[in-house]
Amino acid sequence: MSQFNIEAEIEEIAGGEFEREPVPQSKLKSWKSFLGMYAGEHAAGTEFVIGPLFLTTGVSAFDLIIGLLIGNLLAVLSWRFLTAEIAVKHRLTLYYQLEKICGKKLVIGYNLANGILFCFLAGAMITVSATAVGIPFNMEMPKLTDTVPNGMTWVIIVIAIGTVISLIAARGYETVSIAANWMAPIIVLAFLASGFVALRELDVRSFSDFWNIWGEGTDPFPGQTKYTFWHVVIWSWFANAAMHVGMSDLSVFRFAKKANAGWTTAAGMYVGHYMAWIAAALLYAVYLKSPEAQLALAEGNPPTVAPGPLAYNALGIFGAVAVVLAGWTTANPTIYRAGLAFQAIMPKTSTFWVTIIAGSVATIAGLFPAFAMKLLDFVALYGFILAPVGAIIVFEHFFGKKMGIVQDYAENQNKSFNVAVLLAWLLSFGLFYSLAHYFGIFLSFVILPTWILCGLLYLLMAKKRR
């Protein structure tokens, strides 16, 4: 059987998601598909967690409001001029493009790590939705310090939600995009309404009243890190490091007609990672004035961060439903990406079934509240692990020809293991992780230097090999 026929057979088995070939012109999508997806994915259930967590770090008003403005702009620019630019030229998934450079054996380890981390992130979304579904059952909500399931009701609800989300994701990008477009307006409206309700509850009558909610900042809650302006800027820039500088969203933007579709990420950043985070922080500020929260603080314990009850207290049933939908719109594309990572390891397995596997892993992760309650720390670690590998693709794309290196080395040289890639990642990761651990540096601060060093080391080693 010819190589062409093998690839065609794999594509047919995989369900037509073009995992191992460029997306054809007939399947390209307009910017509207991406607008709905990014607005839905990033105005999501986890925003109900991240917003409150910023309050627990004792951040000031200037640091939060201006820091988020700048950090999210840097994220949008990364998507537009790196991810989307490369995606529309090659129209390949991250996993297949890495295979061409790294070789099949090396990329298996990356795909496995990538898929599992995506599953853990999706699990946090399932946790968020479960806090809303559990309201009518008087379910005990997970605490900020909880790591394991707190009861059978929690387990049953998480499994039910995870099953539904996995089935939607397994139907492919088309279904994921349609679901996001339908749900995004509802979720955005819920965040806006939550913010206005919270402002009323906090008796905010002027901009100065709004500013004074954070004021000059406070001491962080027990067990939390104190955030400054630069913590907010860098963390918000790299909250999605694996997707933009890490190139994971090559798998999404390969369907775009033009690289300008990358600008649609602004809908996610400024509706979700700006408005929604601030609205959720306002809801938590209302909760912090309650006797229950004041008692917890007086005892030296951080008050509960449960998105479902926060939204329900502000908007009633509509708020709870919005939290459930918000979890779905983020978990769906995340599980879809994880399924593509696993499918790259098992190319003859259908996309449907590898996505079901990814959804099952995500559901198991969702049983453990720690992934959601420690989301700021997990997101930083997740980006730090995955983002440097994206530098290999970026530096080869923009500088490979100028440096005279063999591009798509593994494919062109018929190699299954590109040592230069592994060494570049190990050296950059090992150096900056050691520095961060030894000197107590905020992990997000070292993502960019790790990314740059990884790309430079790869080019230098690849040139020397030539």
The total of structural domains in the chain comes to: 1
How high is the pLDDT of residue 3?
31
Token pair for residue 288? 């912090």
Decide: residue 24, CB within 10 A, 0-12 exposed, 13-18 middle, 19+ buried. Answer: exposed
Evaluate the CA torsion angle 89, 91, 95, 98 in order and state its sign. Answer: negative
Below-50 pLDDT ranges, the chain = 1-15
Residue 363 contacts residue 169 (beta carbons within 8 Å): no
How high is the pLDDT of residue 13?
31
Q: Is residue 460 part of a domain?
A: no
CA distance linking residue 285 with residue 193, whole number of Å:
15
Residues 236-246 as b or e (16 or more Cβ within 10 Å = b) = bbbbbbbbbbb
Report pLDDT digits (tens) over 183-222. Answer: 778 888 888 898 999 999 999 999 999 999 999 988 888 7
Q: Is residue 456 part of a domain?
A: no
**Rama region for 223: left / alpha / beta (φ>0; ψ in -120 to 50; rest):** left
Question: Which residue in 330, 346, 336 sits closest to 112, CA to CA?
Answer: 346
3-state helix, strand, coil in the chain (%, to 5): 75, 0, 25
335: domain CATH number? 1.10.4160.10
Residue 153 contacts residue 287 (beta carbons within 8 Å): no
Token pair for residue 328? 């779905």
Question: Which residue in 176, 177, 20, 4 sits closest to 90, CA to CA?
Answer: 20
Residue 220 contacts residue 57 (beta carbons within 8 Å): yes
CA distance linking residue 165 with residue 335, whole number of Å:
8
Domain that holds residue 77: 3-385
Q: Is residue 14 part of a domain?
A: yes
Q: Is residue 466 part of a domain?
A: no
Outline where 241-374 has alpha helix (H). 250-253, 265-266, 277-288, 291-298, 307-315, 317-345, 351-366, 370-373
CA distance linking residue 388 with residue 114, whole number of Å:
12
How high is the pLDDT of residue 40?
67
Residues 6+ apart with CB under 8 A from 422: 106
Upper half-sphere CA count for residue 124 (Cβ side, 13 Å): 26
Q: Report residue 329 CA to chain centroid gap.
A: 12
Cα–Cα distance list, 85 to 38, 244, 448 (Å): 17, 11, 19
Residue 311 contacts residue 319 (beta carbons within 8 Å): yes
Q: Is residue 443 part of a domain?
A: no
Q: Is residue 452 part of a domain?
A: no
Please, what is the angle between helix 31-42 and helix 317-345, to 10°? 110
Angle CA 150–155–159, to nearest 5: 155
Q: Is residue 314 part of a domain?
A: yes
Cα–Cα distance list, 92 to 75, 141, 253 (Å): 22, 42, 9
How high is the pLDDT of residue 277?
93
Cα Rg of the chain, angstroms: 22
How high is the pLDDT of residue 8?
33
CA distance linking residue 373 with residue 383, whole number of Å:
17
The pTM of this model reads 0.84
Q: Is residue 336 part of a domain?
A: yes
